[in-house]
DNA sequence: CCATTGACGAAGA
DNA sequence: TTCTTCGCCAATG
């Protein structure tokens, strides 16, 4: 299994309404990638991966910088599954961070 | 092989 | 709290 496949396997396990960060995924791996490595993998993930549930360590939406992706899409998708944002436009990590131990 | 560019993140000012 | 700087690592030309 390649490192990228492991990134996708972990991302697919994130439940609806929960989020995690690039760096956390990096550390969950058997052979850790750098956070940027995970970001690169996510930039070309398969369609069945819930990419919107992966945000920056402080809850930042990072996909708005991409020209091929309309701004606001990630936030809209997350809000549609119940994720709340703070006044600065960041995900309320305290409330939505995914804890694999609970897995729900 | 070298330089540059990311869907990053921690540390310091 | 916001802004810079720097390390990280895979991909691309």
Ordered DSSP codes for A15-53: PTT-BEEHHHHHHHSSSPPPHHHHHHHHTT--TTS-GGG
Comparing A23 with A3, which gets the higher pLDDT? A23
Mean pLDDT of chain A: 93
- Of chain A, the percentage scoring pLDDT greater than 70 comes to 100
Q: Average pLDDT, stretch A80-87? A: 96
Token pair 């694999």 is found at A100
What pLDDT was estimated at residue A44? 92
What pLDDT was estimated at residue A47? 94
pLDDT higher than threshold 90 for residue A69: no
Cα A104 to Cα A101: distance, rounded to the nearest angstrom = 9
Find which nucleotide's C1' atom is closest to A4's CA.
C10
What pLDDT was estimated at residue A2? 83
Is A31 near strand C, with its CB below 7 A from some atom of it?
Answer: no
Å from the A39 CA to the B8 C1': 7
Cα A85 to Cα A35: distance, rounded to the nearest angstrom = 23
């Amino acid at each position: 299994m390649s490192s990228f496949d492991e990134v996708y396997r972990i991302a697919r396990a994130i439940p609806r309404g929960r989020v995690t960060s690039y760096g956390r995924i990096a550390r969950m791996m058997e052979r850790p990638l750098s956070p940027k490595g995970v970001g690169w993998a996510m930039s070309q993930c398969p369609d069945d991966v819930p990419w919107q549930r992966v945000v920056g360590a402080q809850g930042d939406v990072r996909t708005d910088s991409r020209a091929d992706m309309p701004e606001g899409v990630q936030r809209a998708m997350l809000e549609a599954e119940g994720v709340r944002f703070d006044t600065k436009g960041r995900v309320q990590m305290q409330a939505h961070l995914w804890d694999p131990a609970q897995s729900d």
